[in-house]
Chains A and B, each alone.
Chain A
Amino acid sequence: MNSNNRPILTIEDLHVARGQDFHLSIDQLDVVDGEVLAIIGPNGAGKSTLLLTITRLLNPLSGTIRYKSQDITQIDELAYRRNLALVLQEPLLFDTTVYHNIATGLRFRGLSRAEQEKRIELWLSRLNINHLKTRPATQLSGGQAQRVSLARAMVLEPALLLLDEPFRALDSPTRTALIDDLRRLLSKTKTTAIFVTHNQDQALSIGSRVAVILDGKLQQVGLPQSVFSAPLDSKIADFLGVENILPGVVRTSETGKIMVEVNGNQLEAVGDADPGRDVYFCLRPEDITIWKTPDIPMSSARNQLHGIVSTITNQGHLLQIRIDCGFPLIVLITRASADDLEIKIGMQVFAAFKASAVHLIPR
């Protein structure tokens, strides 16, 4: 992020309607110069609507969007849009060569041929697609097409790059390679960007800050680690993959150590909360370890539960184990661990987790 932290875009009290049923509301959101703001949310949350509104391709019902402190409705629409560049989910390349595709936005802006060529060569090289320069866009693979689409937008050197789930349709290895390249290029060129995705890994990987949009409302904005480790409410926690969200009551609280009663179990957490307070006890499945016996070293894992394995679900390299502890506890372990523990349905196991792995959300 740029050292001066100057907002390039400020959104205030924005309200956008699409059709009869969908509304997007954003009270306040800043995009700081040089940062990559990752906006995450499920499909239909309003992420793309926000990008189209920022691009002035959708008109809000109310609210203000300021670009460099100027209300965008007071600036010439075309002049404003030419500060931006939009990359959509599909590459949407034009029926011509890769070179001419990348030249599209430059031609719209009336740049000289020499300037066009200089910039295009640079971005062909930066995105490792020099060899595709004269190839028709119709003959590209999905990954190549999305690289061309990125080059076509980044060659414009936009003040604000808008990326609307550009890797959604790509296979995993292609996506990983492109994400790495995009992160490197955004950092190298210090491009300010809004990166919309429904994928948390991508948001973590690319975003210097993360904003969560759920049900058409901006729910939380912050540094990636703080958003993912401390979601503001159970709905955000649920979306962010905190699969164990258990209702509990704070029993004691002293010097940062909190005891919470969850379904009759006294569990320890770290933080501040008044005794008697109703809370959600949130725990990520990957933060829990499983043991066959209760002889768990208590030096770090302060909490221990026992229960019966009720289901085992294959999740690729990992197995999701559901343990019935009087309430369902979801745990993720590797196949190797499962083999060592000889995990099977109906088996009694002991689950342990650190107090610091717990995140409490007021109910």
Chain B
Amino acid sequence: MELLWDGIKEAFFLIVSGDQEIWAITWLTLKVSGVATAISLLIGLPLGTWLALRDFTGRGCLFSFINTGMAFPPVVVGLWVSIFLWRNGPFGDLGLIYTPTAMVIAQIIIATPIVIGLTIAALQQLNPYLRIQLLGLGASRLQATFALWRESRLLLLAALMAGFGSIISEVGASMMVGGNIKDQTRVLTTAIVLETSRGRFTVAIALGFILLLLAYLVNFGLTVVQQRTTRSKDIQ
């Protein structure tokens, strides 16, 4: 218990003291995961919408691949991204291995299937005639898509939260493609692994609390938006 209590005190101290290294790690964590979430949303939302609304041969098979992708182990993603970005790998010339960009790429691969899968689920729970109704009222294809997103906004926000949650907490891929280099690619999860391996449990606990706080604050913001939407539906 003492260890835990010391960890909490350390975390508080690290936060209020404005420790430069901790703030740099926290900022990089937020930046890498934020950019990866945004890009996976840009890819996953339109792709998930297209897949949800189109009927084609092999659709079920593709859905099962996407569902499998939702459970991609981060270390496997890290392994494959490392192979591709390794100096003598197919994209080795780009010099991306052990950079934040490599971490963003790996996290996009982890989060995108989650966003696609949950977007498909969100749109498929709508009445299938809703799109026909929108088009029958004179919506352009784009207007109809935005209206469908609006109708399923609660679940789409959940997709966003799930995507962000899956990557801010992953360690395997970030460690493998980022290398946990001090002042360059060290993020909260990889720093926790490092401090634990060094036996500096109080610092590891402190970093863990900061990571939890960060995840909580981002999800709190999204939840507020989500619940405001729910409340406005009840009150309107």
Q: Which residues of A does B touch, CB under 8 Å?
A: 52, 55, 57, 78, 81-82, 84-86, 88, 90, 92, 94-97, 104-105, 108-109, 134-136, 138, 152-153, 156, 162
Q: Are B129 and A81 in contact (CB under 8 A)?
A: no
CB of B136 closer than 8 Å to a CB of A: yes
A95 and B233 alpha carbons, distance in the complex (Å): 7
Q: Are B151 and A94 in contact (CB under 8 A)?
A: yes
A268 → chain B closest CB, angstroms: 51
A282 and B151 alpha carbons, distance in the complex (Å): 52
A250 → chain B closest CB, angstroms: 49
What are 20 contact pairs spanning A and B, CB under 8 A? A55-B136, A57-B135, A78-B138, A81-B135, A81-B136, A84-B138, A86-B133, A86-B137, A88-B129, A92-B130, A94-B150, A95-B150, A104-B134, A105-B137, A108-B139, A109-B138, A134-B236, A136-B234, A153-B137, A156-B138
B residues less than 8 Å from A84 (CB atoms): 136, 138
A311 and B132 alpha carbons, distance in the complex (Å): 47
CB of B20 closer than 8 Å to a CB of A: no
Residue of B nearest to A164 (CB): B136
A67 → chain B closest CB, angstroms: 14
Given contacts A94-B150, A138-B233, 12 further A-B contacts (CB under 8 A): A78-B140, A81-B138, A84-B136, A84-B138, A86-B136, A90-B127, A90-B129, A92-B127, A92-B129, A104-B147, A108-B137, A136-B236
A85 and B140 alpha carbons, distance in the complex (Å): 13
A206 and B127 alpha carbons, distance in the complex (Å): 28
A96 and B236 alpha carbons, distance in the complex (Å): 7
| B178-236 at interface with A (beta carbon < 8 Å) | 233-234, 236
Give B113-156 as 1s and 0s: 1 = Cβ < 8 Å from A's Cβ atoms: 00000000000000101101111111110010001001100000
A residues less than 8 Å from B139 (CB atoms): 105, 108
B residues less than 8 Å from A135 (CB atoms): 236
A325 and B132 alpha carbons, distance in the complex (Å): 52
Q: Are B147 and A94 in contact (CB under 8 A)?
A: yes
Interface size (B, Cβ < 8 Å)?
Answer: 19
A79 → chain B closest CB, angstroms: 10
A residues less than 8 Å from B234 (CB atoms): 136
Chain A to chain B: the 7 pairs with minimum beta-carbon distance, closest first: A86-B136, A105-B137, A82-B138, A92-B133, A136-B236, A108-B139, A108-B138
B residues less than 8 Å from A162 (CB atoms): 136
A162 and B132 alpha carbons, distance in the complex (Å): 13
B181 → chain A closest CB, angstroms: 48
A261 and B113 alpha carbons, distance in the complex (Å): 75
A77 → chain B closest CB, angstroms: 9
B residues less than 8 Å from A88 (CB atoms): 129, 132-133, 136
A residues less than 8 Å from B127 (CB atoms): 90, 92
A residues less than 8 Å from B135 (CB atoms): 55, 57, 81
Residue of B nearest to A79 (CB): B138
Prevailing SS type, chain B contact patch: helix
B residues less than 8 Å from A85 (CB atoms): 136-138
B148 → chain A closest CB, angstroms: 10
A residues less than 8 Å from B134 (CB atoms): 104
B88 → chain A closest CB, angstroms: 51
B135 → chain A closest CB, angstroms: 6
Q: Are A97 and B136 in contact (CB under 8 A)?
A: no
A residues less than 8 Å from B136 (CB atoms): 55, 57, 81, 84-86, 88, 162
A residues less than 8 Å from B147 (CB atoms): 94, 104
A residues less than 8 Å from B133 (CB atoms): 86, 88, 92
Residue of B nearest to A97 (CB): B236
A residues less than 8 Å from B137 (CB atoms): 85-86, 104-105, 108, 152-153, 156
B142 → chain A closest CB, angstroms: 10
A95 and B130 alpha carbons, distance in the complex (Å): 11
B residues less than 8 Å from A90 (CB atoms): 127, 129
Residue of A nearest to B137 (CB): A105
B residues less than 8 Å from A138 (CB atoms): 233
A55 and B144 alpha carbons, distance in the complex (Å): 15
Residue of A nearest to B135 (CB): A57
Residue of A nearest to B234 (CB): A136
A residues less than 8 Å from B140 (CB atoms): 78, 108
Q: Are A95 and B138 in contact (CB under 8 A)?
A: no
Q: Are B143 and A108 in contact (CB under 8 A)?
A: yes
A52 and B134 alpha carbons, distance in the complex (Å): 13
A347 and B179 alpha carbons, distance in the complex (Å): 98
Residue of A nearest to B148 (CB): A94
A105 and B143 alpha carbons, distance in the complex (Å): 10
B residues less than 8 Å from A109 (CB atoms): 138
A135 and B236 alpha carbons, distance in the complex (Å): 6
A40 and B132 alpha carbons, distance in the complex (Å): 22
A277 → chain B closest CB, angstroms: 47
B144 → chain A closest CB, angstroms: 9
B residues less than 8 Å from A55 (CB atoms): 135-136
A residues less than 8 Å from B236 (CB atoms): 96-97, 134-136
A138 and B236 alpha carbons, distance in the complex (Å): 10
A95 and B147 alpha carbons, distance in the complex (Å): 10
Give the most central of B130, B132, B138: most A CB within 10 Å: B138
Residue of B nearest to A135 (CB): B236
Q: Are B129 and A95 in contact (CB under 8 A)?
A: no
Residue of B nearest to A93 (CB): B133
B128 → chain A closest CB, angstroms: 10
B159 → chain A closest CB, angstroms: 17
A136 and B233 alpha carbons, distance in the complex (Å): 7
